[in-house]
Amino acid sequence: MGEIEFLSRPVNHQFPERLFEIMPDDHFWVRSRFNVFLQETCKLRLNLRDRKLGLDVGCGHGAVQRQLAAYSFWSCDGCDLSIAGLTRNAAHDGRVFYYDINDRRPEFREQYDFIVIFDVLEHIDDTRSFLNSAVFHLKPRGHPFVNVPAMQSLYSKFDMVLGHVRRYHRRLLAQHIVDAGLDILSLDIGHSR
């Protein structure tokens, strides 16, 4: 395991840590989510053989970082507020940070070619501020990749246990992205409206 770099003040983080055990890299959701990411990079004509550095916001146990290392020349640092996830984060070439992106550390301003925000926005009340903080870390003309659970009609006790504030439909996700000053190049959240 790489060393965790503690860059933010510790907070009481409420996240069901058991998920890191039951969702390994070969879990169908983790694999499917990454396959959609690969499809999106193709749509955007981004070359995975180029050397790019990204930041996985809410990286947990590092699945995306390991997947990128296995399937591309892209490397990815990861940040999270879950020490339980970060202690399992290994087997890739990126750095691992205990870091709240809302701290907006000056050394990270416009440092990353891409940002991955997978299964995070649904936990955030103020998505505009959160996405603005994420973009602070992104180089001009960089690419944010966002994944969220779809269809508010499916919101259940499972979502509550996971700490989800909401699920998304196409219009709501688009509005949150546009409100943060981002352009939408591709938007696909399944069969929701």
Q: Is 186 inside a domain boundary?
A: no
- CATH number of 20's domain: 3.40.50.150
Q: Is 90 inside a domain boundary?
A: yes
Q: Is 184 inside a domain boundary?
A: no
* Number of domains the chain contains: 1
Per cent of the chain over pLDDT 70 is: 77
Q: Is 190 inside a domain boundary?
A: no
Q: Report the distance separating Cα 86 and Cα 121, nearest Å.
A: 19
Tokens of 154: 């499916």
Q: What is the pTM of this model?
A: 0.84
137: left (phi over 0), alpha (psi -120 to 50) or beta: alpha
Q: Is 188 inside a domain boundary?
A: no
Placement of tokens 């202690």 in the chain? 87
Beta bridge partners of 145: 116
Q: How confident is the model at residue 20 (pLDDT cuts 50, 70, 90)?
A: low
Q: Is 30 inside a domain boundary?
A: yes
Q: Residue 79: enclosing H or E segment and its boundaries?
A: strand 75-80
Q: Is 185 inside a domain boundary?
A: no
Residue 100's domain comprises 4-179
- pLDDT, one tens digit per residue, over 92-108 is 999 999 999 999 999 99
Q: Is 81 inside a domain boundary?
A: yes
